[in-house]
C-alpha cells in the first residue's frame, strides 16, 4: 500500500509518497519547472506515516540538518539509480558538475546522460540533484524550476 502526504515549507509545498519499503517520491510543488505530479487515487493519505521525514525536512530548511536519515526506494533504470546513489554522496553545501558525476560513475563521456538521470530524480532534497551545476558554473535546469534550485544552494551556503 502506498501512502502520501502534503505539507508546507518556507519555500514550497512538498508532497511525499512511499510505503514500508521507503520513500519513492518527494515533489517540490513550486508551480515552476517541467515536473508535473499527480496524486493517485490508489494512494492513502497518511500524514503520520511520514512524521519523521517531515521533521527531517523541516530541520533541513531551518538549517539544523545537513544529512537525511530516510530510507529511499526510487524507481528508475539501473543507470539512473547509479547516478542517484552518486548524487547522495555530494556533501551539504558542496557543488559538482554533471561531468564530475559522470567520471565518478566510471563514464566521463556520460555528462548528458547524467543530466537526464538528474531530471528524473524522484526524491530531490534527499537525493540532492540541486547540488549539480553546469561545467561553466551556471545553474542549469532543475525539474522544479531554477529559482528553487538557487534558493536551496543559498540555504546550504548558510
Sequence length of the chain is 158
Do the beta carbons of residue 5 and residue 50 sit within 8 Å? yes
Global pTM reads 0.93
Range list of β-strands (E), 42-107: 44-45, 96-97
List, in order of start, the domains of the chain with CATH numbers: 3-61 (3.30.160), 78-157 (1.10.10.10)
* Rounded Cα distance, 69 and 121, in Å: 18
Task: Indicate which residue of 12, 26, 129, 143 is catalytic.
Answer: 129
| 12 catalytically annotated | no
Do the beta carbons of residue 79 and residue 93 sit within 8 Å? no
Q: Which three cell numbers stand for residue 94?
A: 558542496
pLDDT per residue as tens digits for the range 1-18 = 999 999 999 999 999 999
Q: What percent of the chain has pLDDT over 70?
A: 100
- pLDDT band of 158, cuts 50, 70, 90: confident
Amino acid at each position: 500500500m502506498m501512502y502520501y502526504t502534503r505539507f508546507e515549507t518556507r519555500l514550497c509545498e512538498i508532497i511525499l509518497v512511499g510505503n514500508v519499503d521507503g520513500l519513492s517520491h518527494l515533489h517540490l510543488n513550486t508551480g515552476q519547472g517541467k515536473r508535473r505530479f499527480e496524486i493517485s487515487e490508489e494512494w492513502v493519505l497518511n500524514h503520520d506515516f511520514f512524521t519523521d521525514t517531515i521533521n527531517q525536512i523541516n530541520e533541513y530548511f531551518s538549517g539544523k540538518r545537513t544529512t537525511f536519515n530516510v530510507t529511499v526506494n526510487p524507481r528508475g533504470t539501473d543507470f539512473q539509480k547509479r547516478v542517484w546513489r552518486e548524487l547522495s554522496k555530494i556533501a551539504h553545501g558542496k557543488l559538482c558538475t554533471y561531468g564530475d558525476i559522470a567520471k565518478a560513475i566510471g563514464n566521463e563521456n556520460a555528462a548528458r546522460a547524467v543530466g537526464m538521470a538528474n531530471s528524473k530524480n524522484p526524491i530531490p532534497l534527499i537525493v540532492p540533484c540541486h547540488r549539480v551545476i553546469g561545467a561553466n558554473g551556471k545553474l542549469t535546469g532543475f525539474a522544479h524550476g531554477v529559482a528553487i534550485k538557487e534558493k536551496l544552494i543559498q540555504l546550504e551556503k548558510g
